[in-house]
């Protein structure tokens, strides 16, 4: 088979590696890919916003299946567009992708289907929103409706902060904003919960916990993710059943009844309080860096899973997981998520020896003249599996130390809530 992957992050390199392991695959293309995917597939330099150019390439190469990594093309309707051109795609259609593309769309489903989530109100002007927050207990959470690269959520501790957030959103910080969302702050512990879905049946695709803040102790600015571990410590059967029955199934039923077609991963961001799950948000893709921690635990042929999912035959698949834990530590460019340098040589990257159960997934890298250079904020993902999460973390940290990239930053405390003595 010939398979194409859309995207250029650590998630897409992890997907590419897993596809590369499959006996069913003859050739892999990554659009546009990164320095890591360059080694095991062909990187194709097409802008992922340009659906027509992507389609032309896929048809010319007679690609059998395309996997969409990031949210933006999904929200912009790449699946509908490619399906119309008879190309097989692993990803949800544009209607379903509103789950991530519009937080208000999701909240309305929560309301109509009785899905547990934070109390909320939708506003279409500043004054009404100001009036509402004047009478609220703090913190409150103010959210832009659409995609905002993880930056459209404001946890506000007082009226002033909330007003600032409301003004920024309505003034267009994340594009034209007709409406915004104000919701109650949920206390508890977060959990990322993944399923695979073929529009009829679903399979739980593990759980994880990511660390979004740039500094240790979960301090500093929000980032795309500084690391993650799997499984989440909250992953137990009764809670799982509640998540499926109270949150996932009502959502999937709603989408189906309303004409959506959902093929792919669904990622529920949850808050767990007193053993009860609340939906914070949906993403219509795998998480990054959660994907990098979860996929190495999978024993199945990943291509077989993708194929069966597209055919609506997911029920024929029995997922088979390694009985281990996994941790991912992200090495970023110093200064990320604010200002950082690009195009810095990463010396000796190919000299890093990976023991069994250790993986190195590239994100913001490119391969030029036989050398690797940084090309983004999140640069490399170090992933190690072990029965003991502490040992897995030590292995990751050893690898980072060996690389000793002077321009890099990472957190030493990924998993601190579950790893003792950290
Ligand atoms: P989101 O982009 O919706 O995932 O929000 C980013 C982060 O903001 C989440 O991972 C949570 O840590 C936090 N967050 C969002 N909504 C709430 C809420 N209602 N209560 C508490 N924390 C929240
Ligand atoms: N790890 C957070 C995300 O992928 O959105």
For the entire predicted model, the pTM comes to 0.97
CATH topology of domain 2-91: Rossmann fold (3.40.50)
- What CATH number belongs to 125-178? 3.30.1490.20
Could you list the pLDDT tens digit for every one of the 422 residues in the chain? 999 999 999 999 999 999 999 999 999 999 999 999 999 999 999 999 999 999 999 999 999 999 999 999 999 999 999 999 999 999 999 999 999 999 999 999 999 999 999 999 999 999 999 999 998 999 999 999 999 987 899 999 999 999 999 999 999 999 999 999 999 999 999 999 999 999 999 999 999 999 999 999 999 998 999 999 999 988 789 999 999 999 999 999 999 999 999 999 999 999 999 999 999 999 999 999 999 999 999 999 999 999 999 999 999 999 999 999 999 999 999 999 999 999 999 998 988 999 999 999 999 999 999 999 999 999 999 999 999 999 999 999 999 999 999 999 999 999 999 997 55
Q: How far is residue 369 CA from its own chain's centroid? A: 31
Classify domain 189-316 by CATH number: 3.30.470.20
The rounded Å distance from CA 212 to ligand 2 centre is 8
The H-or-E segment that residue 365 falls in is strand 365-368
d(CA 331, CA 333): 7
CATH 3.30.470.20 domain locations along the chain: 189-316
CATH 3.90.600.10 segments of the chain: 325-420
Residue nearest to atom 12 of ligand 1 (CA): 190
**Ligand 2 binding pocket includes 223 (Cβ within 6 Å):** no
Nearest CA to ligand 2 atom 5: 287
List where CATH 3.30.1490.20 sits in the chain: 125-178
Q: Which CATH architecture describes the domain 325-420?
A: Alpha-Beta Complex (3.90)
Give me 126's structure tokens: 């500043």
Is the Cβ atom of 140 under 6 angstroms away from ligand 1?
Answer: no
Q: Whose CA is nearest to atom 16 of ligand 1?
A: 280
Q: Is the CB of 269 under 6 A from ligand 1?
A: yes
382, 379, 378, 376: which is closest to 359 by C-alpha? 382
Question: Is the Cβ atom of 145 under 6 angstroms away from ligand 2?
Answer: no
Q: Please report the atom of ligand 1 found closest to the CA of residue 183.
A: 19
Most ligand 1 atoms within 8 A of CB, residue of 117, 149, 153, 283 to mutate: 153
Q: What's the gap in Å between 225 CA and the centre of ligand 2?
A: 6
Q: Are 252 and 200 in contact (CB under 8 A)?
A: no
């Amino acid at each position: 088979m010939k398979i194409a992957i859309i995207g250029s992050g650590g998630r897409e390199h992890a997907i590419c590696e897993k596809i590369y392991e499959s006996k069913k695959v003859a050739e892999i293309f990554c659009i546009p890919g990164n320095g890591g995917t360059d080694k095991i597939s062909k990187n194709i330099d097409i802008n992922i916003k340009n659906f027509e150019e992507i389609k032309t390439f896929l048809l010319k190469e007679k690609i059998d299946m395309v996997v969409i990594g990031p949210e933006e093309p999904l929200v912009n309707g790449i699946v509908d567009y490619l399906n119309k051109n008879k190309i097989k795609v692993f990803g949800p259609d544009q209607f379903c992708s509103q789950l991530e593309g519009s937080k208000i769309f999701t909240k309305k489903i929560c309301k109509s289907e009785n899905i547990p989530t934070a109390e909320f109100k939708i506003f279409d002007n500043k004054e009404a929103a100001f009036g509402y927050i004047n009478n609220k207990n703090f913190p409150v959470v103010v959210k832009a409706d659409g995609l905002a690269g993880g930056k459209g959520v404001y946890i506000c501790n007082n009226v002033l902060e909330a007003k600032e957030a409301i003004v920024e959103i309505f003034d267009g910080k994340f594009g034209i904003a007709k409406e915004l969302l104000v919701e109650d702050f949920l206390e508890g512990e977060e959990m990322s919960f993944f399923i695979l879905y073929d529009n009829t049946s679903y399979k739980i695709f593990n759980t994880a916990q990511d660390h979004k803040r740039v500094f240790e102790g979960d301090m500093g600015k929000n980032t795309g993710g500084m690391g993650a571990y799997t499984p989440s410590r909250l992953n137990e059967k009764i809670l799982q059943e509640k998540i499926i029955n109270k949150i996932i199934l009502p959502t999937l039923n709603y989408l189906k009844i309303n004409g959506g077609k959902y093929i792919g991963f669904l990622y529920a961001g949850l808050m767990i309080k007193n053993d009860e799950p609340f939906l914070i948000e949906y993403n219509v893709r795998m998480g990054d860096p959660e994907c990098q921690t979860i996929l190495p635990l999978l024993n199945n042929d990943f291509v077989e899973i993708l194929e069966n999912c597209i055919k609506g035959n997911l029920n024929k698949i029995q997922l088979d997981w390694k009985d281990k834990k996994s941790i991912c530590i992200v090495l970023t460019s110093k200064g990320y998520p604010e200002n950082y340098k690009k195009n810095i040589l990463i010396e000796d990257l190919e000299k890093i020896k990976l023991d069994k159960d250790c993986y190195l997934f590239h994100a913001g890298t490119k391969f030029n003249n036989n050398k690797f250079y940084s090309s983004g904020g999140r640069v490399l993902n170090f992933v190690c599996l072990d029965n003991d999460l502490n040992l897995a973390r030590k292995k990751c940290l050893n690898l980072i130390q060996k690389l000793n990239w002077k321009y890099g930053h990472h957190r030493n405390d990924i998993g601190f809530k579950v790893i003792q003595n950290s």
